[in-house]
Amino acid sequence: MNEKIVEIEGLTRIFKKTRAVDGLHLIIETGELFGLVGPDGAGKTTTLRLLAGLLNISEGTAALMGFDLNNQPDSIKPYVGYMAQQFSLYGELSALENLLFFAELFDVSSKDLEERTERLLEFAGLLPFKNRRAAHLSGGMQKKLALACTLIHEPEILLLDEPTTGVDPVSRREFWNILTELHLRGTTIIVSTPYMDEADRCSRVGLMYAGKLIECDTPHNIRKKIDSEIIEVWPVNWQKALDKVMELENIKEVQTYGETLHILVDSGERQLPEIKRSLKKAGIEVRSIRVAPVHMEQAFISLIRRIDA
């Protein structure tokens, strides 16, 4: 454990004039579940493709398991499993046949094959559907099958590009339970996601913006980085309250969440009594008011706005 399995220095990819990935420095240790988050066009997909050896590096270096991608791109293939956003399953082949196809692609020896495909199908919860055509599986099941195909050669590093986009909450949780299982077994996973609650399930999160890694830490510490807290107000009438809250002093931002308002402030405990008083004075009736935990989404948006400012 704790050896550097991915070492990235100054990694850059230029498309025409755009620096899609711009001077990335990152070290990932064996067994990490690393989340790559950021808005569209931040460079997440390009980073994953570079690491999978599918794109040439413009500048800098990246090494996986000690193999330099610039010099030995083919040496990493047996150790890496890459699942693209638009992964390709063969719709007219059954779940099992898809697995067999990928096994052949990755030279999995035929003596292990039967045992391994059974195990993967079971792991992905697809055993009852092994003879069903991929095209007839639900979206969530297709994602799980694609993951199983990515695992067929037992890679040590998994690169997953937005694997749960468009998947319903139940399938999404199942998918993450599978990832947790792999993580507990020691597989190194790098996963990109637009879902901020998924970032919370990673051991470390890298926040990408405009090709650069602007933050990299545990989800817990990233929340602390915004130096702000949330005061949650549940007023009787949210629209009236919103107008008043906007006029308050010393507040950074107000967000509406249904009938509640989230007020971003420097210090929850210190400012709660002030805000309570001001609302009372303005005749705003409040059902409840409290200091609430900062959501990952809020942290993410605040950090990006700080960079933009």
Residues that bind other proteins (CB under 8 A): 33, 38-41, 138-140, 165-173, 177, 180, 183-184, 194-197, 200-205, 218-220, 234, 239, 242, 255-260, 293, 295, 297, 300-301, 304
Q: Smallest distance from the beta carbon of 59 to other proteins, in angstroms?
A: 26
Q: State both tokens at 67.
A: 């193999």
Greatest alpha-carbon pair distance for the chain in Å reads 77
CB nearer to other proteins: pick between 57 and 222: 222
CB nearer to other proteins: pick between 99 and 264: 264
Closest to 155 in 3D by CA, of 5, 309, 262, 4? 5
Task: Return the residue matching tokens 């637009």.
Answer: 194
CB nearer to other proteins: pick between 214 and 301: 301
Length of the chain: 309
Please list the alpha-helical segments (H only) found in the chain: 44-51, 95-105, 110-123, 139-150, 169-184, 196-199, 219-224, 238-247, 268-281, 296-308
Q: Smallest distance from the beta carbon of 180 to other proteins, in angstroms?
A: 5
Closest to 52 in 3D by CA, of 33, 76, 31, 87? 76
CB nearer to other proteins: pick between 167 and 263: 167
Q: Is 102 helix (H, G, I), strand (E, B) or coil?
A: helix
Q: Smallest distance from the beta carbon of 202 to other proteins, in angstroms?
A: 5
CB nearer to other proteins: pick between 53 and 163: 163
Q: Smallest distance from the beta carbon of 177 to other proteins, in angstroms?
A: 8
Q: Smallest distance from the beta carbon of 136 to other proteins, in angstroms?
A: 13
CB nearer to other proteins: pick between 205 and 263: 205
For helices 110-123 and 95-105, the axis angle rounded to 10 degrees is 130
Q: Smallest distance from the beta carbon of 37 to other proteins, in angstroms?
A: 8
Q: What is the CA radius of gyration of the chain?
A: 23
